[in-house]
A and B are shown apart, each in its own frame.
Chain A
Amino acid sequence: MKLLIINTCSNRLSEKEFVLPFEDKNTRTNHYKDLKDLNWADKILITGTALEDNEYIKDLNKFNWLKEIDKPILGICSGAQIVASLFGGKIIKNKEIGMVEVNGNLFGKTRFQVYSLHQNGISNLNAFEVLAKSKNSIQAIKHKSREVYGVMFHPEVRNNWVVEKFIEV
């Protein structure tokens, strides 16, 4: 299984925090401004970025390929915002930092603690099914007719199973 990681960080130092934890011998990483390996990939993961980094919001038009490509996609934090936005959702202000409890059903898991680190949340999710929520945020979504997922929390912290399940499904 070939996983393409789409890096959303505008400062390279953030990549060590938000991209590196997902990289291994079966992955390739492209920055969203320099996509080269979309055809190579079986599945696509779109990373999060630093709390103060909002450059991806100015560049949402650079993600229009998401609407055309027929491959499973998992968006993480800013990646989830991008995915939601491209399919008709809205990016809203919603700051959440630290561990929070999530309830719902994400890949069979119904109640778990997650690490949240975001200034923005997602809403107007008509094209999506909401899979899991915390007290103040929508935490996990899936497109109603496509294999497109988004999680607002950071699975690289204590919840690696989310990415493992996405790769398995």
Chain B
Amino acid sequence: MKLGVLFSGGKDSTFATELADSGQNEVVCLMSMKSENKDSYMFHTPNIDLTELQAKSLNLPLISRKTEGKKEAELIDLRRLIQKAQKEYGIEGVVTGAVESVYQASRIQKICSDLKLWCFNPLWQLDQEELLNQLIKRGYEIIISGIAAYPLDAKWLGRKLTKAMIEELVELRKKFGVNPAGEGGEFESLVLNGPNFKKRIQINKYKIQYKNHAGVFSVEDAELK
């Protein structure tokens, strides 16, 4: 089955891309929504322009679409993006990196159902700690690109995901209820390398913006190495 992946460049959609491209299925394109709403519940926003470089490294075509990110109207934009992939790449199914968010998953399921497309969520209900450990085990290089929850602070921005970081996140879940995989929007991630990447993304220049436990690690210049 030809599949298109809803791709943000974060850990979950990148891992979902790897899992989807096997057996009966072939990933034929990536689809990215570029939301102007930094607080979108639907779409990941930090460094979304880097998806172009990631797609090159994954050797997959990328189609993208801008959205103002207004609730429900952004779903019309998403539907149009998926329809474009249907028309241009003949996708028969959509893959997402949804883990727990019923809000995201049910909205995407509805769009897929209307368009008679299959919908796959290969990380669905996966234990958060296990998900992070699997990413490290498979050789993904991931950094924290955004934070939005107490007690996360500026020192987290740009940090690489390691076993030690997973332990810290698990502790934060116990003390503060922070979801270790950032599924509640506590943090956003950026994948620099992975088992299906042809080349690693090297960051040449970045900027950190931070205030009151919210911040972004913005990549200003990067290249494939």
Do residues A16 and B123 form an inter-chain contact, with CB atoms below 8 A?
yes
In the complex with contacts A13-B23, A13-B24, A16-B123, A97-B113 CB distance below 8 A:
yes
Per the bound structure, the CA–CA distance linking A76 and B23 in Å amounts to 25
Query: Interface residues of B, CB < 8 Å — how many?
Result: 26
Do residues A115 and B120 form an inter-chain contact, with CB atoms below 8 A?
no
B89 within 8 A of A: no
Do residues B113 and A51 form an inter-chain contact, with CB atoms below 8 A?
yes
In the complex with contacts A13-B19, A157-B102, A119-B122 CB distance below 8 A:
no
Residues of A within 8 A of B (CB): 11-14, 16-17, 20-21, 50-53, 95, 97-99, 115, 117, 119, 156-158
Do residues B106 and A99 form an inter-chain contact, with CB atoms below 8 A?
yes
* B:79-110 near A, CB below 8 Å: 93, 95, 102, 106, 109-110
State the majority secondary structure of interface residues on A. Answer: mixed
Per the bound structure, the CA–CA distance linking A117 and B124 in Å amounts to 13
Q: Which residue of A lies closest to B113 (CB)?
A: A51
Do residues A21 and B19 form an inter-chain contact, with CB atoms below 8 A?
no
Per the bound structure, the CA–CA distance linking A11 and B119 in Å amounts to 11
In the complex with contacts A13-B19, A21-B124, A21-B125, A97-B110 CB distance below 8 A:
yes
Q: Which of A13, A17, A99, A117 contacts B25 (CB 8 A)?
A: A13
B112 within 8 A of A: yes
